[in-house]
Structure formats: structure tokens, C-alpha cells
Structure 1
């Protein structure tokens, strides 16, 4: 039997591996006698590479590597092995023209793909005379041994098939188990378990609307969670360092009005600022080798928010943009490193009602699309095998969890309603997530009542309803309902009766708006590629649906021009008119409008993206813009409605919400309704019913959100 010494030097293509000094020596193609570069790496990394080389071309299991290199210490070895493979790939790829050097064989282990070249001097022949004699004897009985071996192989095959069948049965019957990890009165979001599995960190909003990070000891669940961050700052989303000694997160310093990427060292409780951030709830993750952060930020280059990288190995590093800069048809919103450091998963938003998952190879930049036609991704995380992604998405108002393989791109539902922001537990087949259940309803509130009352639900059924709009001409209300399992356009009379379904697109529709004459309804729906949205117009008499001509991928909420010959909405170029006769749209102002409503033949009242206040402009002189209500009193985007006397609008206060009325003639603001905090959602809508002197609005029931640990058969 021929063996190879552990300290043997060998070549992998143009790279010479020298275990004696833990080095990789890279040679050039035209000069294989002198090393162009020498790289020193950790001894354990060299041991892994040498072991794979000595076993070439066989597959080596993770258990075998941990047993031989980390002396069977699976707790240390499992994560260390993943880190070693990542580093080896990173180093060896550059010496082999980006050829994959180490292959991951799913559910088996690793295999070296480049044949190692050893010196003959390192090959040890340890056969003595007795062994040679044994070989001669065994050669005489080769046929017998082959028959025996065949029988053993057949027996092993039967045993393996039986074992595999039992394994599949054990997975098939794994129960779905949920365990509440938090039971506090607040809303617990963005949970993450420490690498050793002991600690849970999460963000929670208090009654004062401000957020802090909390740490819970999972080994002592009865103990009160510890608040980690100050009440003078806001934090809600954190990621653990791979060694479990620190947390990284965005922190909003309210006194400064600025957000900072922050590192909190848990042993000293010292917080240090690393760089500026976009928002304290923006996505963030750390590479498995602790070398860099990736996060969502707006670097003010004019490209908008996107994905950035920040080195953790340099002093005063400069953030590097990873997202596209010009002509982008999407924006990156969420991000996650695979445990082996090979892939970066990214959630990309196309328009305002379409989002999908992509993965990008960290070294080569290779990009793959895993999903198509999702609506709203609410968190993504890798499975520990680095071959599957777990994510949550909202579909027609209902959140649920799914798992998708990066090779077969097969999406499997977890069927866990309410799942949001799932996060795999390190070295485990379980995960944690934030439970989120929210129903929407259309409610009516009568104005100028002699006896004050609360809002009344318009529709007494068990589905979500939102975004109402009322037509005086038809005296009907259009709204969005998920009764069929999809968000579709429905209508009812003023009492909520005589309900009718008007669309059957079986994909998300949103933001219906009546034309002034009551014959048509404009709304948004995804385009054919599910990579954006288009303005659709429904003819209420014929039920025909047309799509307005547009070169744009994304459009904001539509509203009608005064004569109903065109629809107004925001495009990437600003306030834009879209025509019913298929003419190309016309940009009338570069203002970044959220929602606009015509109050006369020439006047458009609107709100702006990223700027408070209520504004008005003349369509004939769009350059003349006037502020109606200052941003100190008006911070609403969508929850407002007008009549001939003034404007009704939502206002958030500390611990509650108000519905106010602003009068055109006096400029005075009068509170008319007080509601609990979160009752009127940010993405809701209001409409005024003149003949009833009442308001219709979207209300939500925001249930308490807890962190839950999940065991599920699809995670094994």
C-alpha cells in the first residue's frame, strides 16, 4: 500500500502547497521555476487542503475532516471547517484562473477538483515481505474475493436503501413545532441567535415609538431580557459577529438627526461608530470571515439607496457601492451572506409592488435569479448548508415563509402564516422569526356628530380590505380585497352592500382611483415580467382593462385629471401625465410626488417623497409651487382627503394618532378623531363622502408581534 506523508509538498496547477511553513506559492505560466507570490495561511487551512489532496479524487465528509483535523470537536470544527473551505477557495481560485478548486458535494462533503502532483520521494511504500506474500496469495483467490465483495456491496446497498428510507421517513414525520421566545407587550422584530446558540438579540419598539436592542438568555428563559442600547438612540436590527463577541447595527442618534453603523463589544459594552448609515432598520450582514459588512445605504451620489460594502480590516475605510449606479431598473433592499461565504443573497425591488431574490457569487460576480413575481419580501436568510434560502413574502396581505434551493430553484412553502424576517440558528436546522399578523378594513367615520362616536367597519366579513375611493357620480366605493386569495378590485354601495368583483388578474392590484365621471377606475398592477408595474384602466361598463402607454418601469399611485382624459402619477422623471389615447406620457414637473389630487381644473394638490408638507401647483404654470400646510403640521404621504372646505389628514403623535381638518379659508387645524397608535397604516388611503359628510379610511389591527423558534421538516 502506498501512502503519502502529511508534510508532503504538492502542486495544484500553478500553486505549490508547502505544509511545513503553511504557505501557498503561486507561479506564473511563463516561469514555473520562481514563485511570483507567497501567501501564508492558517495551519488548519493547510491541513484541510493536504487531507483533501491525499484523498484525491474521493469525496471527504465533513465528519471525517473534523475528526482528523479538529480531533472530533464538532462544536469548534463545524464552523472552522466552513471558514477554512471559504478561505481556500478564495486563495486557490486566483492561482487557477478562477477555476473552482474545492467542490461542495451536497449531503456528502468536499472534493478537490484539481489533481495534486506529489514528488516521488514523498510516496512511502510500507509493504513488508509478509504483506507482499499476502498479496500473492490474495491474487490467487481474486475471483472468490470479488464474489464476496459483490455480496457485501449488494448487502450494503440494501442496508443503505433501507437507511435512506428510514431517514426520509424521519424527516417526513418531523412535526412543525413553534416555541415563543418572547412574550413582552411590545413588538419584537429582526431576531438573531448568537453563533453558540445561547443568546437572542432582537429589536423592540416601546410605547414612545422609539426602538432599542434587547438580549435574551435562551438558557435561562425566565430571566428578563437586557436592554443593550440607549433610550436616546433608536436601534432595531442587528447582526452577530461570527465569533459572537460583538453586534453590528444601525443606530439613529435623535439629537443629531443622523444614523451611524455601530459596533457593540459585548464584553465591555463599548459602542463605537464605524460609518454613516441610511436608516436604523436597513438591512445589514457580516461576512463569515469577519472582514466586511454589507448594508443598505444612500451614499448621496445621486443613485439612491443601494448595497454597500465596508471593510472591517482597514482604518477609516471608505464604503464601496455594490449596487448599480445608473439606469437601474431596481433597488436592492435586503442582503445575506451564505454561511460558507461563497454567495450573497439580495432582495431587489422592481417598482413598488414587485420584488425578487437574486444571488451573486462573491468572488466571480456570477449572478442568478431565484424567484420571479414575488410581491413584498420580508426577510431572507440562508440555511446552514449554504444551498437553500429561507425567506418571507407578503402575498395579498398575508405573510408566509418559503424555502428555495439555489440549484434547482424550487420554491417550497413552509405554510407558517405570519412569518417575517426569518433567521437561521447557527449550526442548527431550526430558525427564529418575528410573528406578524395584520388585517386591514375599510372604516367609516361620520363628521360633525352631535354624539361623538368611533369608526364603524364598512364591510362585515373576514377578509382584508384597503385603499377605498368613493365616486359621487355612482355613489359606489372601490377598494382592494383579498377574498379570492389575490388582491383584486371590488366595489360596494355606500352601505357596504351590493358587492361586486371587477378584476380577476390573480396577481396583486393596488390603489384604485375613480374617474370624476364615475365610468372608469385607474389602478396599478404588475407588468408581464413582474419587474415593475403599469397603470391599468378599468371600464366599469364593459369590464375591459387597458394599460396606458409608458416607457417607465415604476409608477406611483394614480389619480385622474380634471377632464378624465389623462391620469396623473409619479414616474422616475417626476409628476407625469399618462393619456388614455396611447400618446406617450408628458412630464409636467420634476417634483418627486407621492400622491396628487386635482381640486379644480388647473390645481393639483400633492405630497412629496422625502419632504413634508402639503403642496399645490398649477398645471398651466407647473413651475409655480406653493406650500399649503407646513411640514411642521403635515407629515402625511397618503392618508389625506380633500373637499371644498379643506383637507382631512392623519397625524402621528407619541402613543396615538389624530385625524385633523385644515380649512382653506382660515388655515386653522382642528383635531376631529383620536385613535390608538398604528390604527391607520402608513400605506393606507382616505376618501370623503359628501352626501354623508363622512370619511372612509383604511384601518389596521396590529397584533402583538413575538419572536418564535420554528422546527420544520423542510429545514432538515
Structure 2
């Protein structure tokens, strides 16, 4: 049988039908005359071509609608009638008025002229055997495809089921905490060796200085081995990638020197690689062991920052990675990703805001990962190099978190006390130092006939600290995390009649009464969480104002003698900040920690990086005198001035003292002895005149152990 291709060109008398360009070409009998070309709609050509291929059969309307309009009778019926009318109109003109398309009543249509096709457009129609073979082949192919589809579907179902089971296994992974250390002392900065056998950590124990210890996890009953000398201080180390050596900072107090050190574990040989900042400064090593990054101050005038030291190159000096000019932050911690692509950096803005940034090790590209954290206490990468595990202290409580570097979504691990987490090589678990610390305001009565201990102001479970007393209002302001956030509260001298004064839901710190008792100055983060501002709380109206300042960071505020301005340290030195929104005025370039006015012109203060208690006149700020020498006074914040003298904290080896220095004699008298660490370095002290007592911040330390953590969010 012969079949004609759908796109075949054919002739009807003097008309040539070309389906490829939807045209009718009419030729006259005279060969010299021109060709008349008429373009018509594609559907019209399809109808005419179908009738030609079926010639001389009568083609029903239904067959035409099924083949041309895909069975859409609603559209096809009207469209077919319209097509036949237009075709007759064009073809009848070319045929001298003769009918070309005949309507067969109740049947359909057929051509009255025989179409002439080219031989090339005629193809053999397969016989019945060939059709049967074709159908068998096609059915076989269909069956194969169905079988493949079924197999693929079953495979997908199996994969989905397996994934579901895997997700369920993760969802129901219990949170398991395993204590790795049980010895007395405070174990910090844990890190497990690349082969998973050894744990190194720092601990002060009963020694004068902290030391590094090595514990065999395959023999947990064995006593940990001390790795470093008792004459130096070491507390934070990282493993070389092959596990053969440790890198750490080693501080020699007798020499006032700190050395970056490599300890070969096989030979116990310690090599000094260069200078370091402190024995507890951050340090990490690249996954390929080619370089170290660590916090250091190279005395270049830029302050402490992140440096990179290339190993195995003796002549190459460390390279500074932190900024050098107009820096609004300080880099404090760093960690390489396991694939070596990223360096995560903990960056401090001011003294109460900190966030994590990512630095690409190849391109130098930098991106910010977190916004508005408070105090980062360690960071480490997950083994997939796509997530970062870190600890923060928020409103006095430490907890662990995990964040994805792509979606930047932070999820809480809900592990209170997590500090300095470190991923375990080739594992989804982490180790961390368990750090639980509460703060309280304690009262100590002076000049008692019976020896007296400190008494807490409040018998509560939450933390509260940094008191300041006003003799005018006879009330104490302090910071409390009773609501879950550090806010300003006040009470009377007995701890009663408590009131909450702020509801900022972010960290506030270091409240200070004005001398007239009407206002309280304090620090709180700025809107971008990239620094802090001095806030002033009106105790009568509860309104809070922010003092005008061009500075990003401010140290603890205190009031001028007439309460017309607030004194605080900025990057330019001791600065006056005014309540009427005038621009601040720098009165001295001295880097002050904390200052207190003891007269209308006398400022007593401590300095950053310099021991001793100092005094200057606001009218002659260049004339600075030393009240207490640095050999006797090394305190920054835990001191208070009274009419008779200065009460201050004095840290000794294994204990702390509260001393009193008397103005008229210059003598120093110890009045209270406390265990080491009782008064935190960042605490505060105030004097209650009508009760002749001191109020101070005390901390309650629990034992710090190293814990291994299994957690579903780490999978």
C-alpha cells in the first residue's frame, strides 16, 4: 500500500498546494504569465492536504475534526465549515468556476480534482505482518519502559523510606553527655587528637600556674599526664594534623615573656617559634599543617589582632590578618574549616558586642555570619565544613549553638554551660568545657567586733551583679537576668522593694547613679550591635536617652561632680559626654578603665595596661599623680573611693584580698580574705555610707569538667 507524507506538495489542476509555507500557487495556461500566490491559514492547508491524501474517498467531518483539531468538536465544527468555505472560494476561482471540493450529504467532503503528487512523497505503507511486528516491538518497548519506571519508582520509594528512617534516627538521637575528666580543678580548652585517642586540655589545678595535660581516652582510669613545666603557664593548645605535636602559647611570668611553642610528643622537645600575646590567646592550625593563626600584639601600634605564621619557614615573620587603620573591632578567636576553605573569626565590637565573620582563605572574601551576639566563648567547625559550632554567654548564661554558613540559621543546642567546643575528628560529636557560673551582689559589714562574712543581697537562683549605691535615694541599682535578659533593677539597701527599670531585651551593663540620685547612666549595644552607647535613665519618668557620641565603643560611665556630664573612656582617651547633646570633649589621652569623681575637680581612675591608682584635675588634666603604686594596686574595676580612702580587690596566688588604702596615712590594710576567683575581674564595688558596708559582685564557680557531647543537631 502507498502512503503520502503530510507535508507533501501537490497540484490540483492549475493550482499548486505547498503545505510548507501554507500557500496556493496558481499558474495560467500561458507560460509567460506570472504566478499568483495566495497565503492562507495553516488549518485550511491541513484540511486540503488531508482531503488530497484520502482522494477519492469521502472524508467525514468527524474524521477531519479528529485529525486536524484533535477531536475538539466544539471548536472544530465551526472552524471546518469556515475552512471549506475559504478553500472553495480560492480554488474555484483558479478552476474557472468549477467545483473543486464536493459536499456529500450526510457523509462529508471529497475532492473532485485528482491531486498530483511527486513520486518522492509516496512511501510504501507496511503490510499487515509488518504492522504486527511494529506493534509487538512498540509494546515490548512500552513494557520495558514501564518496568524501568516501576523499578525507578520502587528505588525512589526505598530511598525515601531509607531517608525517612535516617531522619527519624537523627530526630530521636538522645542528647548524651559523657564526662571525660573528673579531677579537681578547672579543665579548659579541650581538644582531641586526630586519631581520637588523646585528649589535651589546660588546667590550673593546685599549681601556681596553669599547665597542659594529656589524657588517654582508651585508658580513662589512668591519671592524666602533665605536659608542661610548673614554672610557666599554658592552657590552650591545638594538635598538628598528624597528631605528633602540639602548638600553644607559653607564658613565663618571671621573664614577663610569652612564647609560641611547638611540643613534639615523641621526644618531649619544646621549640620556641616566636612571641605570643598571652598563654590563653586563641590559636589554630590549617588542616594541611602549613600555618598557624593566633592572636598577638606585635607592638606595631595596631593593638592585638589575628596573625598568620607560616611553618617550616624560619625567616618569614608573622603576617597580620586583622585591620591596621581605623579599626572598629578586635579579632579574638579563629578556627579553620576542615576543608581549609574558610577561617571563622570571632570579632569584638566595643566591650559588650561580638559576632562571627568568615574569611575565605584563597580569595580573601569576607562575609558576616552572625548579628547581635554578646560574648563568644569558643568556636569550632563541624566536620562537613558547612556548619559552625560556637558558645556564647548571654545575660550571664553560657550555651551552645550551631549555624549554617549558607542559610545563616542559628539553632540552639540547649546545653547550658557549654564553653570552648571543639569538634572531634572524623566524628559528629564535640568536646567542650562545662562552665557554670552565677553572680550575686554580696554585702560585707566593715569594722565589726565579730569577724563577719559576706552576705548575699538576695536569696535567688538567677544572677545579679555590678551594684551601685545612692546615698540620696538609699537604693541600689544593679544588673539582673531575672527576666532572661540583663536589665537594670533597683532595691533598697536590704534587697527589698525591687523594681525593674529597663526592658530593652538585650545586654545592659555597668549602671552608675548620678550624685543627686535622679539618673542612672549605663551601657547598652547600639542598633547595629557593632558597639555600645551611653544611655541615661531618668528614674522619675523612666525615660531613656542616648548621649551624643561619634565613638563606637565606650568604657564604664561615671558622673561628673555636678551631674552635668558623664565621664567615660573612648578611643581618644578620657572623654566628657554631655546631657544636652553637645559633642563630647576629650580631656586627656589616657586610656582609662574606670574613673570616679571625689571632688568637684578631682578624678581618681585606673588605666588600661598600667597598674596603680591615679588622679588628675579636670582643669589641669596633663598633671597626673599616682595615689597607689602599681606594686600594691593592680585592680581595674573592683574598687570604690570613700571620704577616708580606697577599698579595692587584690588578687594573690590562691586567694583574694579586699584591702583598704587610707588617704591620710597611705597605709594599706587587708580587711577580708576570699577564695581565688570569688570576685570576678569584671565586677564592681560600692560603699553604703550609712551602714559602713561594702557591696560587691561575687561569683559562684562550679567544677569545670571536659564533656563529650552527642546531639541530634550535630548529625
Could you tell me the TM-score, scaled by structure 2's length? 0.80
Q: Cα RMSD between the aligned structures?
A: 1.1
Deviation at 1:317, TM superposition (A): 2.3
Which residue is equivalent to 1:626? 625
Which residue is equivalent to 1:431? 430
Structure 1 CA distance for aligned equivalents of residues 544 and 407 of structure 2: 36
Structure 1 CA distance for aligned equivalents of residues 581 and 308 of structure 2: 43
Structure 2 CA distance for aligned equivalents of residues 177 and 640 of structure 1: 43
Which residue is equivalent to 2:54? none
Structure 2 CA distance for aligned equivalents of residues 312 and 299 of structure 1: 18
Matches within 5 A, 1:680-699: 680-699=679-698
Which residue is equivalent to 1:238? 237
1:266 and 2:261 correspond: no
Which residue is equivalent to 1:539? 538
Deviation at 1:138, TM superposition (A): 10
For residue 489 of structure 2, give the secondary structure of its aligned residue in structure 1. Answer: strand
Which residue is equivalent to 1:444? 443
Which residue is equivalent to 1:394? 393
Structure 2 CA distance for aligned equivalents of residues 252 and 679 of structure 1: 24
1:550 and 2:543 correspond: no
1:459 and 2:458 correspond: yes
Which residue is equivalent to 1:281? 280
Which residue is equivalent to 1:565? 564
1:336 and 2:358 correspond: no
Which residue is equivalent to 2:511? 512
Structure 2 CA distance for aligned equivalents of residues 601 and 643 of structure 1: 15
1:555 touches 1:569 (CA, 8 Å); kept in 2? yes
Give unmatched runs, 5+ long, in structure 1: 1-136
Which residue is equivalent to 2:353? 354
Per-residue CA deviations over 1:282-307 (Å, capped at 9, x if unaligned) read 00000011110000001111111110
1:291 and 2:287 correspond: no
Per-residue CA deviations over 1:500-545 (Å, capped at 9, x if unaligned) read 0000000000000000000000000000000000000000000000
For residue 170 of structure 2, give the secondary structure of its aligned residue in structure 1. Answer: helix
Per-residue CA deviations over 1:419-461 (Å, capped at 9, x if unaligned) read 0000000000000000000000000000000111100111111
Matches within 5 A, 1:76-155: 141-155=140-154
2:208 touches 2:230 (CA, 8 Å); kept in 1? no
Which residue is equivalent to 1:483? 482
Structure 2 CA distance for aligned equivalents of residues 226 and 690 of structure 1: 52
Per-residue CA deviations over 1:324-365 (Å, capped at 9, x if unaligned) read 000011110000000000000000000000000011110011
Which residue is equivalent to 1:591? 590
Which residue is equivalent to 1:216? 215
For residue 148 of structure 1, give the secondary structure of its aligned residue in structure 2. Answer: helix
Choose 562-571 or 251-260, whichever is displaced more.
251-260
1:497 and 2:530 correspond: no
Per-residue CA deviations over 1:378-425 (Å, capped at 9, x if unaligned) read 000000000000000000000000000000100000000000000000
Which residue is equivalent to 1:5? none
Could you tell me the TM-score, scaled by structure 1's length? 0.80
Deviation at 1:254, TM superposition (A): 2.2
Structure 2 CA distance for aligned equivalents of residues 142 and 386 of structure 1: 46
Per-residue CA deviations over 1:601-652 (Å, capped at 9, x if unaligned) read 0000000000000000000000000000000000000000111110000001
Could you say if the C-alpha distance between residues 138 and 692 of structure 1 is closer, same or farther in structure 2, counting changes exceeding 3 Å?
farther
1:286 touches 1:293 (CA, 8 Å); kept in 2? yes
Structure 2 CA distance for aligned equivalents of residues 319 and 138 of structure 1: 74
For residue 364 of structure 2, give the secondary structure of its aligned residue in structure 1. Answer: coil
Matches within 5 A, 1:518-533: 518-533=517-532
Which residue is equivalent to 2:322? 323
Deviation at 1:140, TM superposition (A): 10
Structure 2 CA distance for aligned equivalents of residues 466 and 207 of structure 1: 28
Give unmatched runs, 5+ long, in structure 2: 1-135
Deviation at 1:209, TM superposition (A): 4.2
For residue 159 of structure 2, give the secondary structure of its aligned residue in structure 1. Answer: helix
Rg comparison, structure with higher value? 2
Q: How many residues align?
A: 580
Could you say if the C-alpha distance between residues 270 and 140 of structure 1 is closer, same or farther in structure 2, counting changes exceeding 3 Å?
farther
